[in-house]
Amino acid sequence: MSAAIAAQGQSLSRSLSLGLAIQAFAILGLVCALVYVATSLTLSDRQDATLVEKKAMVRHLLAKTSANADKPALEHMLKDFLIGHEEMGLVLKLADGRFLSAGMQPEPDYRQAKRLEFVVSGEGFGTGPSAATLYMDTASDAELLRRLAWILGVCALAGAVIVSAGSSWMVRQAMAPLHGLVQQLRHLRADRLDMRLDGSLQPEELQPVIAQFNELLDRLDRAYRQLEAFNADVAHELNTPLSVLIGSCQLGLQRTRSIDELREILARNLEDLDRMAGIVRDMLFLAKADQGGRIRQGAAVSLRQIALEVVDFHDAALQEAGVQVVVIGDAQIVLDTGLMRRALSNLLSNATRYAEGGSSIYIRIETAGSDEWAVAVENQGPVISAAELRRIFERFYRADHARSRSDVNHGLGLAIVDAIASMHGGRTFAYSDAGRTQVGMYLPQAHRALEQIHTGSPS
């Protein structure tokens, strides 16, 4: 049970109440201690001042004593002097050895008494100086201090309890809006990710948390919608070839066919199976990239050389489209040659598809800033709107909504380019204006790419 409570964390209300109570008790205790010490010192100073004052009065009184004064007269004079001061006493030791006393006479071991010894002289005390001792009983002041200590201690405890209760009430009042926030969180479900937390009644300190949580909900909502769209696209892309395969098989089984006819049917089915296998391979690659797949380490290679190899591979398609390719620039970059060849192949294939016949496609390799290279494939053709440019790297997105030529283009090519750029620590870009469209990647220069390969975390 205790482990379960510890796992849930301490109550904020109880923690704040206890902390404030301890703090209040410490402060009040310190204040009370200072009051007690100040009072004690004041009483002690007052006692000392009283003794000094009485000492002066005794000397003045005895100095005026007549030389013929006898002992009873002296004792009577001293008792009159101490009237109204029951806490005080006086003992005189005369020069002739006689003792005179008046007022209280404490026992030798009595600790709650102050004494002041001094020498007096006078004609009534014989030929030499006499010794005098003044006593003061401090029991009443000690009792006053004891009562004061009790009162201050009780006040400190009561103050701590009051502060604790008050702080507990204030914390509960301050935490009350959180209950409304909890109720809002309880209504969040996977199918209600469009809901957002209302922080209008929440304290200012919670506003950043609510704002961050709402931003998180925004990202989750977008990711969930993309996942739903992805599932729909996958189902659509696989459904078409599967339907064709089923129809082809049913048609082939309707009657007896010759070997050549069956071979033709199997050949068509194999094309659809190849296309389905290609979609699955691309999806597996994107899934691997999403899981943090790393590029293979290697030495710096020439991007121009890779581009020329890709152009050579697409030679037949380029001739069929009636376009030519010009490679401009070069860069030595540490990268995964196979992945970069695949990315450039996808970019070139996409540019060839939309390039106007007789035009030229440019593969530009140039610096972009102080620490990046830009690799862009540019073609002349229809302008892509800004809204579509923002989505062309999404999976299964095609600007051609009628999905024409879906047999050769299933909408994953540029998504794979984006994944390869990210795996190299770079990013993709796309521009389209004045009849020219440029799609490419920003790649970090060699030293930065090496760091990312070693750490495995693109910046």
Q: What is the pLDDT of residues 36-47, one digit of tens each?
A: 999 999 999 999
- Identify the band that residue 227 occupies on the pLDDT scale cut at 50, 70 and 90: confident
- Residue 68 is predicted with a pLDDT of 58
Q: Distance of CA 303 to CAs 62, 366, 375, 378, 416, Å?
A: 120, 10, 9, 16, 18
**For 372-381, how does the pLDDT look when each residue is reduced to its tens digit (9 = 90+)?**
899 999 999 9
Q: Assign 67 a pLDDT band (cuts: 50, 70, 90).
A: low
pLDDT at 129: 64
User: In sequence order, which residues have a C-beta less than 8 Å from that of residue 92 and are 6 or more positions away?
Assistant: 62, 74, 78, 99, 100, 101, 120, 125, 130, 131, 132
Tell me, what DSSP letter sits at residue 435? T
Mean confidence (pLDDT) of the chain: 82
Banded model confidence at residue 454, pLDDT cuts 50, 70, 90: very low
Q: What is the pLDDT of residue 313?
A: 93
| pLDDT value, residue 66 | 56
pLDDT digits (tens, 9 = 90+) for 122-138: 555 555 567 888 888 88
Q: Looking at the predicted structure, is the pLDDT value of residue 230 above 80?
A: no
pLDDT at residue number 241: 78
6-15, 99-108, 214-223, 415-424: the lowest-pLDDT one: 6-15
Residue of 239 and 356 predicted with greater confidence = 356
What digits encode the pLDDT tens for the residues 316-354?
A: 999 999 999 999 999 988 888 889 999 999 999 999 999
- Measured CA to CA, the distance from residue 157 to residue 165 in angstroms comes to 12
Cα separation of 20 and 391, whole Å? 56
Q: Would you state the pLDDT for residue 159?
A: 86
The residue to which tokens 């380019």 are assigned: 417
Rounded Cα distance, 210 and 213, in Å? 5
